Amino acid sequence: MAKQSVTATAPGKINVCLRVGPLRDDGFHDVATIYQAVSLHEEVTVLESAGFTASFSGPIDTSHLKVDGSNLVIRAARAVAEAAGHDGGAEIHVVKRVPIAGGMAGGSADAAATLVAVDELWGTKLGASRLSDIAATLGSDVPFALHGGTALGLGRGELLSPVLVTGRFNWVIVTHDFGLSTPDVFRELDRHRAAHSIDIETVAVDPEVDPELIQALRSGDATALAEYLRNDLQAAALQLKPQLGEALEFGETNGARAGIVSGSGPTLAFLVDDDDAAENLVAAFTATGKSAQSVTSPAAGARIR
Ligand code: C5P
């Protein structure tokens, strides 16, 4: 019997390494990135419906989000219906916890959770590989939100291979009441490279991840991971939002092993030693009026709850 409603979750991510190659002809950049899913999840509930609708609630302000057919969750559900030849629609409700336009792929997590939820609701049984192909058509980070855990992302970020990790890492996530547009941050990086005549030869044509970073993840070594955290978009994000620099410094002088801009920002991720260090850093940021929360990584990918 068809299900009446299905709930799925999908995680936000940080990039512990994000190397960006030159601009490609299709407007994207080749990247070499290590994604890590964190314990901050989106929750998507879908119900049978004739058409497609989207709504949002949750602890963060979602009032400005567009809920028409341009929303990624509606595009995700339509893509499953089309691939499976399914006639009906879905009412889609998202409980949002991952910051919007924050560099943590919250919108991608919404799409990934929607893919698995409608596939279950409609009994279309597309399977992981087809859902992953559909995910890649929706956005560069959507396949990772399906996959979860820790993965190397190549191409524009959608070509994934799993990365072995021991143990778990503690992070403090600092969010802001402003967002950054991903295309703007990539454009700022291109502008900077052009203005400083950074020869494309010196920008790795095939960007690569430090083997030391892979080793740090494999051995669960937070000290080594802190040393090799790297984000080529960080300077561009700091150029657009200079106040992020002060917050990075604040975190690093208040107990974090290292801080990094998450993806295209503006969310900051601070690697800390343990739960106590996380709690202390959250308290220090909160005392300055900033929004901070403690998360762990890696976390599972999109799944039915
Ligand atoms: O794939 P997604 O829709 O998330 O990408 C949003 C925008 O970010 C792209 O249109 C592009 O401007 C930029 N981008 C990029 N290179 C990537 C991923 C995203 O230039 N690898």
Nearest CA to ligand 1 atom 2: 139
- 286 C-alpha vs ligand 1 centroid, how far in Å? 32
Q: What Å distances lie between residue 96 and 58, 60, 63, 139, 282, CA to CA?
A: 5, 7, 11, 18, 21
pLDDT score of 201 more than 60: no
Burial 64-89 (b: 16+ CB within 10 A, else e): ebeeeeebbbbbbbbbbbebbebeeb
pLDDT category, 206, cuts 50, 70, 90?
confident
pLDDT score of 106 more than 70: yes
**Average pLDDT across the chain, whole number:** 95
Atom index in ligand 1 nearest the CA of residue 141 equals 4
- 159 C-alpha vs ligand 1 centroid, how far in Å? 14
Which two structure tokens, joined as six digits, stand for 173? 């996530």
Nearest CA to ligand 1 atom 7: 183
Of 23, 35, 140, 181, the one to substitute when testing ligand 1's pocket (max ligand atoms within 8 A of C-beta) is 140
- Range with the lowest mean pLDDT among 91-100, 188-197, 242-251? 188-197
Pocket of ligand 1 (CB under 6 A): 27-29, 31, 139-141, 156-157, 182-183, 186
Of 181, 182, 189, the one to substitute when testing ligand 1's pocket (max ligand atoms within 8 A of C-beta) is 182
Nearest CA to ligand 1 atom 19: 28
Q: Which of 30, 110, 119, 141 is catalytic?
A: 141
What is the pTM (predicted TM-score) of this model? 0.95
Q: What residues contact residue 133 under an 8 Å CB cut-off, 6+ apart?
A: none
Q: What is the pLDDT of residue 74?
A: 98
Tell me, yes or no, if 125 is annotated catalytic: no
pLDDT score of 95 more than 80: yes
pLDDT score of 49 more than 90: yes
pLDDT score of 2 more than 60: no
- 88 C-alpha vs ligand 1 centroid, how far in Å? 31
Distance, CA of 235 to CA of 240 (rounded, Å): 9
Atom index in ligand 1 nearest the CA of residue 29 equals 16
Atom index in ligand 1 nearest the CA of residue 139 equals 1
Tell me, yes or no, if 141 is annotated catalytic: yes
- 183 C-alpha vs ligand 1 centroid, how far in Å? 6
pLDDT category, 151, cuts 50, 70, 90?
very high
- 119 C-alpha vs ligand 1 centroid, how far in Å? 26
228-255 pLDDT, tens digit per residue, is 999 999 999 999 999 999 999 999 999 9
- Sign, Cα dihedral of 20, 37, 78, 185: negative
Q: β-strand 89-95 against 52-57: which pairing, if any?
A: parallel
Nearest CA to ligand 1 atom 10: 183
pLDDT score of 79 more than 60: yes
- 236 C-alpha vs ligand 1 centroid, how far in Å? 15
